Every structure is written in structure tokens, then in C-alpha cells.
Structure 1
Amino acid sequence: MAVSVWSLGNPELGGWGLWLSPRRQPLFAWHGPTQRLRALVSLAGVALLMALWLLWLLQSSPGGAPMPQPTLTILIWHWPFTYPPPELPSNTCTSYGVARCHLSTNRSLLATADAVVFHHRELRDGWIRLPLAERPRGQPWVWASMESPSNSHGVSDFRGIFNWVLSYRRDSDIFVPYGRLEPREGPAPPLPPKDRVAAWVVSNFRERQRRVQLYRQLAPHLQVDVFGRANRRPLCASCLLPTVSRYRFYLSFENSQHRDYITEKLWRNALAAGAVPVVLGPPRATYEAFVPPDAFVHVDDFGSARELAAFLTGMNESSYRRYFAWRDRLRVRLVEDWRERFCAICARYPHLPRSQVYQDLQGWFQS
């Protein structure tokens, strides 16, 4: 709809009017100084509305320039397991593919931070206290933990406090797995040569754990070389992958069995090392949500440890190689850095519920 101003008669007599073209029907007309002033105000209002309308069209059109988004500030109240915290340059999250995200450990930003993160281990051990009295109204607080419920005591102390959860659980507000498979660019590297059967790296070795019980049952039927503090054969960080790569199988046994709890024991110790993981953790269907079904051996598929051992030792080379078919098109992406995990808050921020509160955090976590 076009708008035109047309003169009517002698301008000195105040004969002006606002018309709609092309039919030239008068929107309004006026005569005299008072009417002219009122009409000018109305005209200015019409012009403002038209400008706003054009701006809306520009923003909503595919080629329109989007409005710049503000930079989010994520305050980490205490860096997990570490003091002092790492350096956090301004491009920290940009390096992980997340723009306009500023991580900080400066507690003086509490009043202005867009979200504040609290790691459970420091809360549980009393190293930090929640600044409840200084909490700004409506500020989202994030409870973060990558441990299983069996190793996360004291969660029941935090009822009605946290708005969002960052964890390995797929139903977390900020879901951060220990690793994932991504499309591979270029050919896969050759599989490391194998001259040994099975390896296991373990530090937390307790007889009540199911993984220890299963190992006891496997040991008479399967040669398993055990490394780690539990066996007084620790491996340095740079030694782990070269050591495990010589083995056909790796025992990716989780320390406890919980929903979605799949850790670096699968991603780094087995898949990244080039060994077939023999997994003990959540059900097979959960693992298949992360990796192809023919990329691992699940202990639940066998009626006994002896049956499992017979399957592993009786596998021929052709069958063994099929467990690595995924490597032709996928590669392992480890998510081990807490900086990357915290940057994920910004990526999820626009989609997170603002009014949500975990009234029973422990009930949710143990479900």
C-alpha cells in the first residue's frame, strides 16, 4: 500500500491532505494551523510505524541481516579438580566452535553472569559454599558432574537450587558425553599390530564392584594383563594408548552401572587405542545410541564369563576385523576438557527452560 501527500488548493490557506495511492482516497485532510499541527504529529506516527514495519521485514527475510547476539558470561565458581584454574582467553569457546561465549572464574561477576556453574565434587567435599544470599533473582545455576550416582554422594543436599544439569546423561539440560564418533575426512590410519589378547587399566579396584567380580570369573579362561594403580603397574598419560594398542581387546568395565554412564574407558582406552572394547555398563541399546552395534562386545550377550572368554579367544581374524569397519567412515572425538564442556552451556542457552528448578536433584540423577 503506497502513501502519497497531495496538495489541495492553496498551501497558504492550509489546504493539505494525506492520501492513499493509487486510488487517491483521503486518509485524512486538514485546514488551518491547529489541524495542521495535529496532522503533522499523526504523520510522524505513521512514518515511525512504517519504519518499524520495514525493519521487521528486513530482519525476517532470508537475506536480512540478523540482529547481533550478546556475549554470554558463564561463571565457573570453582574449576573442577583444579586450583588455580586454567587461563581462559577471550577465544576459548571460539576454538570449540561456540561464538559469543565468555568463560570466567572471577567471582565478582556473580551479579551480572548469565549463568553460574557449580561442580559437585567441590560442593560435596566442602571446598566451596553456595552464595545463596548473593544470588541475583532469576539467575540460572548449573549443577555439573561427570561422575555416576554411585560416586556422587550428597546430591540430596541441593534440593530446589539448580535450574540446569550438565552431565553425561542424554536427558541432561546440557548433555556432554565423554566422546563421540564424527565423520572421518580421508582414509583411516592402519590398525596397530596385535600380539596380545586383553588389557585392563584400573585404579579403583574393590571386590564389591561387578567389574571386579567379572574379572575374577574371566581370569581363569582369558589372559588379561592388568595395569594401573590397583596392580602397581601405572601407565603414564602418553603410555596408555601405545600400550593398549598392542592388545586385541580392552575391558571397558565401568566402575558402576547407571543410565548412560559410558566413560573414557570406551572412547579413549579402547576405541581411540585401536582395541575392541568388551563393555560392562548400561544395556547394549544405550551403547548402540553412541557407536555402531558391531563396534563392541557386550558382556550381557553371554550367559557366563567362560562363554564370553571362549567367544573372544575363538574369534578368527576376519571376524575380528569386522569390529573396525566403522573406522573407514568415522573417527573418535574425545570430549575431555572442561573448557569445552562449559562452552556447551552457551550453545544450549537459547533452548534451556528459564523457570525450571530441580526440586529433587538426587531423585532425577538416580533414575
Structure 2
Amino acid sequence: MNWSMTFMRDADIFFPYGTLERRTDVQNRNYSAIFDQKTKFAAWFVGNCITPNKREKYVEELQRAGVEVDIYGGCCKKGHRLPRFNNEAAKKTLDRYKFYLSFENSNCEDYVTEKLFSNYNYDVIQLVMGGADYKRLLPNNSYIDTADFKNATKMAAYLNVLGNNKDKYIEMLQNKHQLVWNGHNTFDEASYSKSFCTLCEKLNNLDSNRRVYRSMNDHYRISRCPPFTKAEPYYH
């Protein structure tokens, strides 16, 4: 193989699922009204019910610890419709919730997908699970990472306090709105264009960009996408 073109940040051509940009417009929002319209606690849009990092088990633990999580999509037993690829429906749904579960299906290094990006612009605090460096990606005090808690019970206790603290919640939402996702549905044109422009640049300068990988296995080390084992918590 000559080049890698993946979501991993050390790829020859970085090809992320999306990117967030700093806002250039001034946000003049009635955050108090935004908070007051939220009558539900947490939502999760999901269709993959059995995953490598066992995120579904973590959600079950959250529910047992008293967190109300409404599940939309194929993994829901109550028939909630998944408003996927419909920005208006997704916004209308998430406007009622305080939290949204942006849980990846595996904790691979740098792996962060449309689960984070396509729901970023809505007025909801995201709970994240995955192998990405969220501190680099997101504004400080604007999201909640499962890896910051010893277990789901500890996280549930924190969420229940935060969900009833209007000032703290609004502060986090304001921090989140420092950035914006400029994609459409799950397609991020800006990120895709930048990656293919990088590919064109390399193709036009082959002599200075020649690479050879003799082993795909060595390049994509298993350690970059750790398998779940019972000896290791699935939320780390």
C-alpha cells in the first residue's frame, strides 16, 4: 500500500467523518426559554443494537440507575420512529430533550462519526463514548464523556444533578455553541473536499510524497481499535 486515507489523524490523507468550525456569527439566543421547553431527559438515535464496545449495555446500566433514555430506531422496543436524515424532525425531537447520546459503536483511536457531527447543532448537550480525543475536538465544559466516570451509576448521578441545574446547563450549551457543524444531514462536504484536495496535491507531487507500507496489519495495529474484554470496562 502506498497511502492511507482514513479518519485516523496520522493517515497520509486525513479523511474525517466531519469537522467543527468556530462560529463567525453572534449567537443571540434565549437560553432560558430553550431550557424551559425541555420536558424529557435523554434521547438516543440508534440502529445497530450489538456493538464491539457494548454501548447498549452501558445504556441499560444508565437506565437502571434512574436515567430516562428514550431510544429511537431499530433498537427501540416501543416503536419510536428514528428521525434520521430529516433535520427538521430531528430538531423538533431533540428540542424536548436535555441530553443526547452520541455513542460510537467501537472505541477505535480517532474514530468519531456522524453520531457526533450530524446532531451537533441542536440545542442539546451530548454524551460521548468512543476512542477520539474529545478534549481536542470539543469546547471545554460543553459535553459529557463516559470515560470521565468510574461507572454508569456515577455518571447517572451527575446527569440527574446537571439536568436540574438550569444555570450550569445553559453555561454548557453556550460553550457548545462556540463551534458549528457545516454539513448537511450526514454528509460533510467541507471535510470531504479538503481530503480529496489533499489527495490531488499528493498525486501532483509524487516524488516528494512516495510512501510504501509493506504490511497493512502493522500500519493498522490492533491496539488502535481495542476489542472489548470482560477484564476491561467497555466505557473506557
Using structure 2 for the length normalisation, give the TM-score. Answer: 0.75
Aligned-pair CA distance for 1:255? 0.3
Taking only the aligned residue pairs, the percentage that are identical comes to 31
Matching residue of 1:330: 179
- More off after superposition, 343-352 vs 292-301: 343-352
1:279 maps to: 128
1:207 and 1:213 in contact (8 A); partners too: no
- Larger Rg belongs to: 1
Matched residue of 2:154: which SS? helix
Secondary structure, in 3 states, of the residue corresponding to 2:116? helix
Given that 1:252 and 1:265 are in contact with CA atoms closer than 8 Å, whether structure 2 keeps it comes out as yes
Distance 2:178 2:198 in 1: 26
The match for 1:229 is 74
**Residues of 1 paired with 2:175 and 2:214: CA distance?**
42
What secondary structure, in the 3-state scheme, does the structure 1 residue paired with 2:19 have? Answer: strand
* Structure 2 unaligned spans of 5+: 225-236
What whole-Å deviation, never above 9, does each CA across 1:70-126 have from its counterpart, x for those lacking one? xxxxxxxxxxxxxxxxxxxxxxxxxxxxxxxxxxxxxxxxxxxxxxxxxxxxxxxxx
Q: 2:110 aligns with which of 240, 252, 260?
A: 260
Counting only pairs closer than 5 Å after superposition, residues 37-116 of structure 1 correspond to structure 2 as none
Matched letter for residue 40 of structure 2? R
Whole-Å separation in 1 of the counterparts to 2:90 and 2:161: 26
Q: How many residues align?
A: 203
CA apart distance, 1:306: 1.3
Amino acid in structure 2 at the alignment position of 1:310: A
Q: SS of 2:56's equivalent?
A: helix
Higher mean C-alpha deviation, range 165-174 or range 207-216: 207-216
Shift in Å, 1:240: 2.4
Confirm or deny that 1:166 pairs with 2:15: no
* Aligned position for 2:199: 345
Aligned to 1:282, what secondary structure does the other structure show? Answer: coil
Q: 1:307 to 1:242 in 2, by over 3 A?
A: same
Query: Does the 8 Å CA contact 2:5/2:13 hold for their aligned counterparts?
Result: yes
Cα distance in 1, alignment partners of residues 41 and 115 from structure 2? 17
Per the normalisation by structure 1, the TM-score is: 0.50
Which structure 2 residues correspond to residues 115-126 of structure 1 after superposition, within 5 A?
A: none
**C-alpha contact (below 8 Å) 2:58/2:152 kept by paired residues:** yes
Shift of residue 206, structure 1, vs aligned partner: 1.1
Listed one character per residue, the Cα deviations across residues 330-364 of structure 1 (whole Å, up to 9, x for unaligned) are: 32233634852434423565677532112222332
Q: Pick from 278, 291, 300: which aligns with 2:147?
A: 300
**Equivalent position amino acid for 1:342 in 2:** F
In structure 1, the residue matched to 2:161 is 314
**Which AA in structure 1 matches 2:43?**
A
1:355 paired residue number: 210
| Cα distance change, pair 291–278 in 1 and its aligned pair in 2 (3 A) | same
Task: State the one-letter code of the partner of 2:14.
Answer: F
Cα deviation, residue 169, structure 1: 0.8
Q: Any gaps of 5 or more consecutive residues in structure 1?
A: 1-161
Aligned pair partner of 2:91 in 241, 245, 265 = 241
Amino acid corresponding to residue 180 of structure 1 in structure 2: T
Tell me the distance in 1 between the aligned counterparts of 2:28 and 2:107.
33
Over aligned residues, Cα RMSD in angstroms? Answer: 2.5
Which one has a larger percent strand, Structure 1 or Structure 2? 1
Match of 2:59 in 1: 215
Q: What is the one-letter code of the residue matched to 1:237? A: F
After superposition, give the CA deviation of every residue in 1:254-312 in whole Å (9 maximum; x if it has no partner): 1011100011111222x2222111111026xx111111231210111112211111111
Of residues 164, 184, 198 in structure 1, which corresponds to 2:42?
Answer: 198
CA–CA distance in structure 1, aligned partners of residues 17 and 26 of structure 2: 24
Deviations 1:164-212 (A, max 9, x none): 1111111111112222222222222635442211000110101764201
Q: Which of structures 1 and 2 has the larger relative contact order (alpha carbons within 8 angstroms, sep 6+)?
A: 2
Partner of residue 289 from structure 1, selected from 131, 136, 161: 136
CA distance in 1, matches of 2:175, 2:15: 22
Q: In structure 2, the residue corresponding to 1:229 is in which secondary structure? A: coil
Aligned partners of 1:208, 1:331: CA distance in 2, in Å? 29
Distance 1:274 1:350, change over 3 A: farther
Distance 2:15 2:111 in 1: 11
For residues 277 and 293 of structure 1, what CA distance do their matches in structure 2 show? 13
Relative to structure 1, the CA distance from residue 222 to residue 294 in structure 2 (aligned partners, 3 Å threshold; closer, same or farther) is same
Give every structure 1 segment of 4 or more consecutive aligned residues whose post-TM-superposition deviation is greater than 6 Å: none
Per the alignment, do residues 265 and 328 of structure 1 end up closer, same or farther by CA in structure 2, a change over 3 Å counting? closer
Moved more, 290-299 or 228-237: 228-237
